Structure 1
Amino acid sequence: MPGIRKSLLQLIFSGSFMKRWNDKLRPMELMEVDKQAHKMIVAWMLFELNTREMSAQERLGIGERIVEGGIFEYLYRLVITDIKPPVFYQIKANPAHYRQLTDWVLDRLKPRVECLGMPFWDRLRLWLDHPEEGDLARRILDAAHSYASRWEFHLITHVQNYDDELEEIEESFRGQLETHRDLAGMPELLQGTGSHLGRLAHLSGQLRFQKRWSQTPRVPETSVLGHMFVVACFGYFFSMAVGACRARAQNNFFAGLVHDLPELLTRDIISPVKRSVARIGDLIREYEFKELERRVFAPLEKGGYSDLSERLSYFLGLDVGSEFVSTVILDGLIREVNWDQLQTTYNQDRFDPKDGNLLKVCDNLAAFMEAYTSLRNGISSDQLQQALWRIRAEYQQTSLGDGVHIGALLADFD
């Protein structure tokens, strides 16, 4: 059974330090983890739209390749760090050079990733060894990558005085996106905010502007968008560790990826505020639902994307009151279940299970990583110290199945 180690969590979180467009004038720092989150949200949209007519098993297979392929590409990017895309594409065009670079990357990833088990490692190696394969999952990831990168590129173009690379970069993005125009949803995404689908992708990207712990100095300053990607990765890894079925593991990734989407509408209201004022949590929830309906769900349904709307609602737990409630689908109806039921009776693809409890653990682990890393970097505050103490105390005795002890994992962060 795969396990989870401190070094793996730190590797995933390290994208919060990795700057993008580092050779360009930028109105704000653009971080790798934010771009990856935006990419995977767009990939989820394209996945849903391009597998509508497929069987459940076909969808699961493609969904697994998209989730894991996205994680594999992120891990690769973390190692090669700041190689400029034109240079990397030249390396990739030469099989011998790409092989050498990839072998070097795999050598550095193995000590961190091997805790997830040899099957996962073999899939990682196979994905990176054969970048030329053009199946649907890779095409969706390539399209989502180009979309998110171009969206980000447009944030910086207006502040450049003169840069002879800008036109060439824009033309490159345009060409990459045109090759994927045949994918369902791509023409609408390319319309930008002129389409309902493009508007949701644009709104999602804006979550990179929204900083977490906004009144607490931290290094690094993480965004809501990047935080969602970290939670999604943690959710997928812990799903593997507890032996989750394929549907459950994928649902946990995608639910983690969108779990803070309502903060587009309310900003990041910290838990003490939600808990300290009578009914404030309920009021916030009511407001979030109304605004989600007005700005997200109604436009999607109007644009013919009711299946996307329904899926997003399921991931956000709107029918059960919280994204952190565990659910399955029985006879077409969403049902709340507990951990033991998820691990036994309902740990089957046909029940479409989602781990609300596991995602809550991952959400707190991501917050712990934010506070811990900032303290290790010399930025201390009462809020950060209290967050570490609270999360350690809350999970000191918590286990997720055999061999997945959250308290023991947190104890490694000393």
Structure 2
Amino acid sequence: MPSIRKSLLQLTFSGAYLLRWNDKLRPAELVEIDKQAHKMLVACALWHENSRHLPDEERLALAQEIIEGGLFDYYYRLIITDIKPPVFYRIKENKEHFRQLTAHVLKRLEPALAPLGDFWQRMQVWHTDDTDSLARRILTAAHLYASQWEFLLIKPLNSFDEEMDEIDVSFRERLAGFGDVRGMPDIVKGNTALARFANLCGQLRFQIRWTQAPRIPATAVLGHMFIVAAYAYFFSQSIGACRARAVNNFFCGLLHDLPELLTRDIISPVKQSVESLPEIIREYEEQELERRIFAPLRAEGLEELVGLLSYYLGMETGSEFHETIRENGHARQIRDFATLHGSYNADALQPKDGRLIKECDKLAAFLEAHSSIRNGVSSPHLQEALARLKGDLVGSPLDCLHLGALLADFD
């Protein structure tokens, strides 16, 4: 089984430090972790659209390849972040140079990722075998879209930069080559429900978390979602979750804060200050999700995608943090983690964790607080949050996650 260690948690979080487009004038800081989250949200929608006709086993295999391929590419990019894309593409054209670069990257990543066992073995194959596949095409299309989305933000501010027109043409030409990926032409058009969904997801990078406690790095809701998704996937594998459960946990983690696009990031003490406030917020979130995302998707025939998003967001059971399975297209809540793990850990049931994802949500928040304090930016509010989060995680009833031992390494 994969072993989850401090080094993996910190490596996954480190994308919050890496600036993108840092040789251009930017209206806001653009960081790698946000771009990766945006990319994988688009990839989730593209996976659904390109797998509806596939048998369940093939559909899950494609989802796993997309998730792991996205993680493989993310960790690789953490090492080569200072290499500008045109230079990187030139290196890729020379097989020997690219082999040497990849060997260097894998050597740097091995200490943190080797304890993941089979995941690490698959990552080495991914980066040494460039055989084209549907998963790779989906990931490349999603990568180009998320990168172009950022480019369109900075383009108006960089009219003096002679590179901008060349970059613009390059994005357009490369995206035009993915017309065979179902859903991608609709996203590129820009006036469809799918394009609206992809655009709204990108806007979550502007919502900074912990606004009452200045931090370094100042993580956004979008990047936080990716961190939770990655942690949820690795912990799912560490406890022997079935493939469908691991896939569902990743996508649930990736989507769990999507409603905050509509309500902003409301900290827990505020939510709990008024007894009825959580219910009021939830009701408003559901109304706005229906109006701004679900209804437009339904109107364009994407009812099945709405069903998938609704399942991940816990719309039928009342919370994304409920243990659930799917029966006849509908969600059914399972009593607790032990029951789900013991009796419903099977691909055919489409199981999804609740408490495990909640613990990953807290763990990501712990890393955010711990990293800022370690970087010299602290406050009483941040110290209190760190102590509260650590206490909650150490006291978690999910003993199989070994959170106490994991957090002991952060002392």
**TM category, shorter:** over 0.9
In structure 2, what is the Cα distance between the partners aligned to 1:78 and 1:275? 37
Cα distance between partner residues in 2 of 1:412 and 1:342: 30
Counterpart of 1:329 in structure 2 is 326
* Residues 362 and 389 in structure 2, CA contact (< 8 A), matched pair in contact too: yes
Structure 1 CA distance for aligned equivalents of residues 308 and 405 of structure 2 = 35
Tell me if 1:384 matches 2:382: yes
* C-alpha contact (below 8 Å) 1:150/1:173 kept by paired residues: yes
Aligned position for 1:144: 142
The answer on 1:280 being equivalent to 2:277 is yes
Partners of 1:78 and 1:122 in 2: how far apart?
19
Query: Secondary structure at 1:175's aligned position in 2?
Result: helix
Given candidates 312, 316, 329, the residue that maps to 2:309 is: 312
- C-alpha distance in 2, partners of 1:258/1:331? 23
What is the Cα deviation at residue 399 of structure 1? Answer: 5.4
Amino acid corresponding to residue 38 of structure 2 in structure 1: H
Q: Aligned letter for 2:172? A: R
Shift of 1:216: 1.2
Which of 221, 224, 231 is the matching residue for 1:224? 221
Aligned CA distance change for structure 1 residues 273 and 68 (closer, same or farther; 3 Å): same
SS in 1 for 2:186: helix
Give ranges in structure 2 of 5+ residues lacking alignment. none
Task: Give the equivalent residue in structure 2 for 1:121.
Answer: 120
- Within the alignment, does 1:212 sit opposite 2:209 as a pair? yes
Partner Cα separation in structure 1 for residue 261 and residue 309 of structure 2: 15
User: How far does the alpha carbon of each residue in 1:170-192 deviate from its partner, in whole angstroms, 9 at most, with x for none?
Assistant: 11111111110121111110112
CA distance in 1, matches of 2:372, 2:100: 35
1:335-359 CA-to-partner distances (Å, cap 9, x unmatched) read: 1111112212111100000011111
Q: Using the TM superposition, give the Cα deviation of residue 120 of structure 1 relative to its aligned residue in structure 2, in angstroms.
A: 1.1
Alpha-carbon contact 1:242-1:400 (below 8 Å) kept: no
Instruction: Look up the SS of the partner of 2:325 in the other structure.
Output: strand
Please state if 1:407 is matched with 2:404: yes
Unaligned runs of 5+ in 1: none
Q: Deviations over 1:177-233 (max 9, x none)?
A: 1110121111110112x1111000000000001100112110000000000001000
Tell me how far 1:408 sits from its aligned partner: 1.6
SS of structure 2 residue aligned to 1:334: strand
1:166 aligned to 164, 181, 184, which one?
164
Measure the CA separation in 2 of the matches of 1:129 and 1:54: 28
Q: Take 2:24 and 2:313, find their aligned partners in 1: how far apart are those partners?
A: 37
Match of 2:71 in 1: 71
Q: How far off is 1:2 after superposition?
A: 1.1
**Alignment-derived partner of residue 254 in structure 2:** 257
Q: How does 1:10-409 map to 2 (within 5 A)?
A: 10-117=10-117, 119-131=118-130, 133-192=131-190, 194-337=191-334, 338-398=336-396, 400=398, 402=400, 404-409=401-406
Q: Is the 8 A contact 1:69 1:127 kept in 2?
A: yes
Q: Displacement of 1:161 after TM fit? A: 3.6
Shift in Å, 1:147 = 0.4
Q: 8 Å contact 1:242–1:401 — kept in the other structure?
A: no
Q: Which amino acid aligns with 1:381?
A: S
Q: CA deviation at 1:388?
A: 1.0
Residue 344 of structure 1 aligns to a residue whose secondary structure is helix
Q: Which residue type is aligned with residue 256 of structure 2?
A: H
Query: Partners of 1:310 and 1:160 in 2: how far apart?
Result: 41
Q: Please tell me whether the aligned partners of residues 232 and 356 of structure 2 are also in contact (alpha carbons under 8 angstroms).
A: yes
Q: Give the 3-state SS of the residue equivalent to 1:8 in structure 2.
A: helix
1:11 is paired with a residue of what secondary structure?
A: helix
SS at match of 2:217: coil
Mapped partners of 2:198, 2:327: distance in 1: 31
Distance 2:352 2:187 in 1: 28
CA displacement 1:272-297 (0-9 Å, x = unmatched): 01111120111000110111111111
C-alpha distance in 2 between matches for 1:191 and 1:265: 24
TM, length-normalised to structure 2: 0.98
- For the 8 Å contact 1:17–1:220, the answer to whether it is kept is yes
1:1-42 alpha-carbon deviations (Å, 9 max, x no partner): 111101100000000000000111111110000000000000
The structural deviation recorded for 1:310 is: 0.6
Identity among equivalent positions (%) equals 57
State the Cα distance separating 1:401 from its structure 2 match: 5.3
For the 8 Å contact 1:38–1:225, the answer to whether it is kept is: yes
User: What letter is aligned with 1:250?
Assistant: V
SS at 2:377 equivalent: coil
TM-score normalised to structure 1 length:
0.97
Q: Give 1:400 deviation, angstroms.
A: 3.5
The AA in structure 2 aligned to 1:153 is: F
* Offset at residue 109 of structure 1 (A): 0.6
**Contact 1:398/1:405 (CA < 8 Å) preserved in 2?**
no
Contact 1:46 1:140 in 2 (8 A): yes
1:112 maps to amino acid: A
Deviation per CA, 1:103-125, whole angstroms, max 9, x where unpaired? Answer: 000001110011211x1111000
Q: Does the aligned pair in 1 maintain the 2:20–2:31 contact within 8 Å?
A: yes
